[in-house]
Structure 1
Amino acid sequence: MNKSLLWSISALLLTSQWVQADDKNVTADWLYLTTQGSWIERSAVLTQTQEQLPLPVADLSASGFWWQADNNDILLSWQTPKLSDWLAVDQSVQVDDWSGSWVVTELRSNLLILAQDGVQRALPADQWYRLSWLSSGDSDPAFALSVTQATAANNAFRYAWFDGSLGAEVRYSLDIEAARPTLRQQLVLHNNSDYSLSAPGYSFAQSRSQGRVMLARGAEAMAMSDMAVAVPKSGDSAGQATLQSDQPVQLPAGSHAWLSVDDTELSAIRHHYRFSWNTRQTETMPGQWSLTLVSEDDLPAIAGPVQIAVWDQQVALLETQYQPQQETRAQVALGSSDMMTLATEVLGASEWELVLTNRNSRSVEAILDLSHWDNNSNAEAGFSLTVPAQSTERLQVRLSNGQLSVRPL
């Protein structure tokens, strides 16, 4: 039997245990996306003394569940059968992106230990959606959550669960060779669950704990959705930058979506190479390359990875991290680069010549952090200069009376 059929059978059996078939399309009141997963919020009006709440999950922890009611004098309970109810030791399984079949050697509440030809690998709970296997389907229901109240009265109830298989991330792209370079902010949504989800709107914050704070703010927060926006809009909550949209969102199972959020035109991109040099330095060293992004408008307030496009038939992309700093200025580090180097020539006991070589096709700034230490003294100095394209600059460094001095030659 091929792997796709195995996956279809096992997914059907598992999800029929978790939720009814008509719950494969989950409708939420609001979706709180984070980089580690998502809080999925729903609401209901309790009318009976005991009611079942739909939750398309295989397990639940106290930290992954939140609730609030008009009348809090209620009891919430859930029961999760042993893992052996749906998998057993010595059972053969397959895992997406792993070749061949694997045998279950150990079952834990949050971890599976799998083996193949003497090789063991661990599969944590947040990766179990990648599993597929043949199952008889006659085990007990894998999950149940019930709410009990003393009397059969109307009780407005809000609840949310955290699902690590749904999430989002902010990413950036930048074409440094463009005539008008622009920093593009994107929100990438991931639904790695086995159910489709729809909601009237969503928000994004980077941390899981921030999502819980946003939930706890209460119904007043929903008033923000009076704004009609086609793409997420920047905002803030509890001191953290957010993105929010009140437009309906639909995320099919296994889907990913890229949303272009904002384009910030840059007025300047400045290239820097920093060198940390000391008087004992003898080897030629590469510079630590960084870019300073300057804009007349405010730069994005959320950190994230940035791809710097080159596409010059030699290099495709450079990848680094964008971190907000000043409102209209930020620096991104691109690591060590031999496109600018610093060589040292010893001229005497207290005199050195530094040779800066710029191999770039553009002028760049060299920043030098100079230091000297011995048993008698410590000295530091800083110096910066612009080095033209395809050129060399020479500097003279002297140690005199415990002080370092530097000047161009």
Structure 2
Amino acid sequence: MEDWQGEQGCGEGVPQRNDVPMSGSPPPKIESTAARAGLVLAGSAVLGLVLMNSPLARDWESVLQAAWGVHLGPLHLVESNLLWINDALMALFFLQVGIEIKREWLFGALANARSRALPVAAALGGMAVPAMVFVAINAGHAKALAGWAVPAATDIAFALGFMALLARGLPPQARIFLTAVAVLDDLGAVLIIAAFYTARISGPMLGASVAIVLLMVLLQGFGVRRAWPYLFLGVVLWGFVLKSGVHATVAGVLAGILLPQTREGGAGVNVEHALAPFVSWLILPLFALANAGVQLGGAGLALLGHGVTWGVALGLVLGKPVGILAGVGATVMVVGGLPPGYSWRLMLPIAAFCGVGFTMSLFIAGLAFGGDVQEFDAAKIGVLLGTVLALTAGTLITRRLYPNARAA
């Protein structure tokens, strides 16, 4: 492969996004919005913890487990409030993830082979090494090993929000590269969910799901550019995928990827803009409120010595940055250096902030351990502990290497 330095101008090798300039500071509105969203998400998680450790714990648990649903002919969907949040509302979050993956792949930080090399290698290392750390700590415990993927994914909203809040002043390339790695992490996490965290597969429902996907592809082939046909079929796809045994949120990602996009915008971008406030200010906070709660007294404190707790925590705070830096190092050896605008000094705080695995980690933990309260609670504690440690490490490294960086 050619050296990165052979590029012209900013360089194709430098991941770029239209909303972030390649010099100076990121737009203040973007940074402040990300910081506020991160704070709301953190506040929701703290509130969930408070509720589960208060006299209201039993009442709150009853609210989460209260079941309701709809009956439309042969279709019967009855779920608890917790599952409506995790299976239905989070499908909208994954719809947004799918749109973002497609945008970055076609027009953004992953738009060509040269610009993909570095974040792809970083994401692969950042998923593999945390999983290996988890497996090494929990070797010999078959039940615990189900959670090997919990520390594998970066939480893009939390990581970007707190990097904007705690490390304001980092070069804009930090946000660009972290976004690219986190987008690829999300794609990897979705593939892991589809491949490893599925229930018994229903052939007819899976076949119907494939038929809907093919119909959406045909719509693209016939030049249909409006959003509503894809969204209608996306709802149908969600129902079939839910009944197929594959996790329903996979339908959200597929629908997001199949929505038409152009460099100037298009249906996908319009849907993403419409979804963004609901995802940031309602769906993700609700998810954190419903899923982050764990009782910390008595048996909860005993889980601090559990292998799952430390497998997740160390996978995030140590495995994630080590894997990302290893992936970057391997790429540098092949291409002959880092792209213009990047340095090892910059890679260190980025890798540390990538250890924030909150939303996706909790989501996978629920799939891995949903039927085992002790293991699930241990995973929750590990996610919370690892996220706090990663945020602390990222902030301290930034202060050390970039003395002018500051908290917002």
TM-score norm. by structure 2 comes to: 0.21
Higher helix share: 2
Larger radius of gyration: 1
TM-score norm. by structure 1 comes to: 0.21
Larger relative contact order (CA 8 Å, sep ≥ 6): 2
